[in-house]
A and B are shown apart, each in its own frame.
Chain A
Amino acid sequence: MFKIYKYVLPNGLIIIFNKDKYLKNSAVFNILYKVGSKDENFNKTGIAHLFEHLMFCGSKNITDYDHIVSNIGGINNAFTSQDYTNYYIELPNNKIETAFYTESDRMCNLNITKDKLDIQKKVVIEEFKQIYFDKPYGLSDSIILDMAYDKYQSYKWNVIGKNIDHIYSISIFDIKEWYKKYYNPNNAIISIVGNYDIHYIYELSYKWFNKIENNFFSNKKVVKKNINKKLNVVKKQYSKIINNTVYKIWNIDERLSKNFYMMHLFAELLSGDKSSKLYQSLVINKNMFLNIDAYIIESIDCGLFVIEGKIYNNIKLDHANIVISNEIINIIKNGFNNFEIKKVQNQTELRILFNQMNIIERAFELSLFEMMGNYELYNKEIDNYNQITSENICECAKKFIKDNNCSTLYYIKNE
């Protein structure tokens, strides 16, 4: 259980502080902006991520952000999701004020120019190519999101952007508007992990952030999809694969719902390890699949539950699809014994404890939980999983695992 403090500056900026007395040398400063790719317009995507790159290109008082951070011995990085954009610095504990200074400067004084934008567009396009092209199954994520979410749901595209043309089309005006709209104190959460006096952190926060004014902003919430859609099967052909693959995708609830925790354990129970039910049945006993994997694509407002099965080439995709469906229905019907439930709960506990030891991860998650509703929930994650029973999981799975909530993708080898 971590001791965590929270306070809010008059301009709405939230500061979460975890005092860790065991940290002798280092500290982490994390700042999360409540803006991600879901806040983009569907015909101009990729701004959230491109903007993240521009945050490293200098502000009024800091021409070279990375230089300042390296110069104090810090490391920094950032990542963008559908729901947020997160920046962090791990640095020597006696240099924490530098993080306050640099982050406050780029929150209100970012220096955006067309030249910088053009450079970062080209860098991001190379990143786009690196992630999606030339790799077997590289495009599957984009297709899954596009199939599973409706037109009005802005989780429908990849964070980096729907395509390269969208990235090219982003203008300096778009970028400036984005900054003005979303990079404000009341749309940000700072979290700090370090061995400091709380008053010192408060003083620094006040000194560096209190004078920054807010602009209007409104965050988008992604509305949940209604179950009851037409049967949705898409076939895509690619030359760079060996095994045909079937993806089955079901829409599920928001990240903090009880149903999310249940579906997460359900995924672990199906394929978390080689003794799991789905793996044993389809890979070992039926010998139809080279591999089978169940996992969740985690989004704050409404996520996805995915089963991905790579099949041997003598098996027909339609047949594989039916076998997966029948097997899951059967598993839900028969439920899980206590041993299986305890197994996935223990694995989850170890994973959470392990993540908490990493201070970069801890600082980020504190901001994330605060964004989702309450930083205190961070300390309750293990309990949330440990309270779940087999009955809970099966009831929950019955609710979501339905044909009228399912999209199916056949990723087929182009002969």
Chain B
Amino acid sequence: MNNKILLPEHYPLQNGSNIFAFFINNTSITKIDLIFYNCYNDGNTFLINKCLKDLILLGFKNHSSTDIYRLINYYGINTYIENYKEYIIITFYFIDRYINNVLYIMNILLSSASFLQNDLNKYKYQSIYNLYNKALYPEYLSKLNRKKIFFGKKTFYGYTIQLKDMINLSRKDIFTYYDNIINNKNCNIIITSNENNYNLVQKLKLFFEKISYGNNTLIKNLIFDINSAPIDKYHIKNDNIQSILSMGKIININYLHEDYPKLIFVNTILGGYFNSRLMMSLREKMKYTYDITSNLYSFKNFSTILIYCFLNKHYTKKSIAIIYNEINKIINSKICDEELNKVKKYIYSQYINSLDYPFNFSNYFKRFLSIKDYNKYYTNFENTINGIKKEEIQIIAQKYLYGKYYEIII
């Protein structure tokens, strides 16, 4: 087994950006991630974050949005935007031979956006319809309400886009957003390319050194007060055949905490893999669901556990009782050696196998940009996998799973 986490070469640039380059040996595709931290706490920022994939292409000084779509697609470039509350990532995948064209397009995207009013109007019109359409999907309703209930609707994490936000969105808002966020002082760049592409990376380095975009950097410290999170129950009744259940809680540590890798174990045992306790009890034994998961998410200063499933609606209450029962079992009794070994092997293999996927090095790394000793996290993670004991699982469960959970039923 080769479990070495690959570290990138770091090139700090004079304009404030940083480049991290991974050289890998089995790809003919290059990937560039541009990571921008978010900084505002208002409706417009949420909206623009959410819609950036479309807004970023709404017209440029010398090119219409259609021109740019045409160019991007001509060179087979795949652009992908991940919107997180705390940061956004714009990713470009492309075939190596088109590097010069990619640089030309990136230059236009980053430094000459002009968001044509006609294009924006059209986009808003379509988006309003799309919002209405989305609201009919029970999963979407569940997600919206989950955020509101989980974090409180007035917080940065709990705010959901309102129709009025879309109606009021103006070019000025987008320009302000661009100045503050899509800004080279607020940008980290991760390049993943073939090990023979040293020259390509140098070319990218020169490009990012010269390019200048955005005006200010007004980073607000986004700290969520976890004590402000309400614990609540929420039930939307409808005539659907199934119900959607979300249960969860906020946990006061994030992935930097030494307990976090152990918490990954607890979550995996509960509902993080096919053989999990929730799958065994609610799917294989009771047959109330096709699939149930519990998911652990880490944010800037806290984490969340979310248990999520579609259920036979006649057994929703009974299912909630079973879920609490499974949580209590992990809290109140030690797991057996066999289960511990199985979960250890599962988590270790998931991690180790993922290192054979060339782009995963940058996928992992981008989460850890704020950590100076990136390698240390993985050393801690690997040590936990190898050494965790069943007593520790119980202690961690008692520490973090105990308490009330919010419940949302759609």
Contacts and interface: CB of A to CB of B under 8 A. Distances in A.
B345 A73 contact: yes
Interface string B314-358: 000000000000000000000000000111011011101101111
Nearest to B289: A126
B95 A70 contact: no
Nearest to B75: A346
B240 A134 contact: yes
Given A70-B274, A130-B290, A350-B95, A275 B357 contact: no
Interface stretch (A38-46, A237-245, A369-377, A398-406): A237-245
B346 A135 contact: no
A380 interface: no
B138 interface: yes
B352 A25 contact: yes
A119 interface: yes
Contacts of B132: 242
Interface stretch (B11-19, B23-31, B144-152): B23-31
A284 B122 contact: yes
Interface in B26-64: 26-29, 57
Interface string A89-126: 01110100000000000000000000000010011101
B363 interface: no
A130 B309 CA distance: 10
B290 A243 contact: no
Interface in A57-104: 66-67, 70-75, 90-92, 94
A291 B127 CA distance: 11
Contacts of B94: 350
A359 B26 CA distance: 12
Contact of B290 (A20, A123, A284, A339): A123
A280 B95 CA distance: 26
Given A92-B352, A350-B94, A353-B29, A126 B310 contact: yes
Contacts of B345: 70-73
Given A133-B241, A136-B136, A71 B341 contact: yes
A350 B72 CA distance: 12
Interface residues of B, number: 65
Interface string A12-29: 000000001011111000
B34 to A, nearest CB: 19
A303 B291 CA distance: 30
Interface in A317-352: 339, 342-344, 346-350
A243 B136 CA distance: 11
Interface string A281-311: 0011000001100000000000000000010
Contacts of A129: 241-242, 310, 312
B93 A275 contact: no
A196 interface: no
B242 A126 contact: yes
B357 A358 contact: yes
B76 A350 contact: yes
A275 B1 contact: no
A273 B69 contact: yes
Interface string B73-93: 111111000000000000001
A354 B29 contact: yes
A357 B30 CA distance: 12
B246 interface: no
A273 B57 CA distance: 12
A272 interface: yes
A20 B25 CA distance: 12
A195 B309 CA distance: 38
Contacts of A344: 73
A357 B76 contact: no
A350 B29 contact: yes
A24 B242 contact: no
Contacts of A343: 70, 73-74, 76
**B interface SS class:** mixed
A133 B242 contact: yes
A274 interface: yes
Contacts of B275: 66-67, 70
Contacts of A92: 1, 349, 352-353
A136 B76 contact: no
Interface residues of A, number: 59
A357 B357 contact: yes
Contacts, number: 171
Interface stretch (B175-183, B199-207, B280-288, B300-308): B280-288
Contacts of B72: 273
B357 A119 contact: no
Contacts of A274: 57, 65-66, 69
A26 B138 contact: no
A135 B350 CA distance: 33
A191 B156 CA distance: 48
A290 B132 CA distance: 12
Nearest to B130: A290
B3 interface: yes
B101 to A, nearest CB: 10
A236 B188 CA distance: 51
A24 B355 contact: yes
Contacts of A24: 1-2, 355-356
Contact of A312 (B74, B93, B129, B287): B129
Contact of A123 (B241, B287, B359): B287
Interface in A224-245: 240-243
Contacts of A26: 349, 352-353, 356
Contacts of B25: 22
B122 A339 contact: no
B120 to A, nearest CB: 13
Contacts of B356: 22-26, 359
B43 to A, nearest CB: 23
17 contacts: A22-B356, A24-B355, A25-B1, A25-B353, A66-B274, A72-B349, A94-B1, A241-B136, A272-B73, A273-B73, A290-B130, A346-B74, A346-B75, A349-B76, A349-B95, A350-B77, A350-B78
Interface of A: 20, 22-26, 66-67, 70-75, 90-92, 94, 119, 122-124, 126-127, 129-130, 133-136, 240-243, 272-275, 280, 283-284, 290-291, 310, 312, 339, 342-344, 346-350, 353-354, 357-359
Per CB-CB distance, the 9 closest pairs between chain A and chain B, nearest first, are: A73-B349, A346-B76, A122-B287, A26-B353, A22-B26, A275-B70, A127-B290, A24-B2, A275-B69
Given A136-B136, A350-B94, 19 more contacts: A25-B353, A67-B275, A70-B274, A70-B345, A73-B352, A75-B273, A75-B350, A91-B349, A126-B311, A127-B291, A134-B138, A275-B69, A347-B76, A349-B95, A350-B29, A357-B357, A357-B358, A358-B357, A359-B356
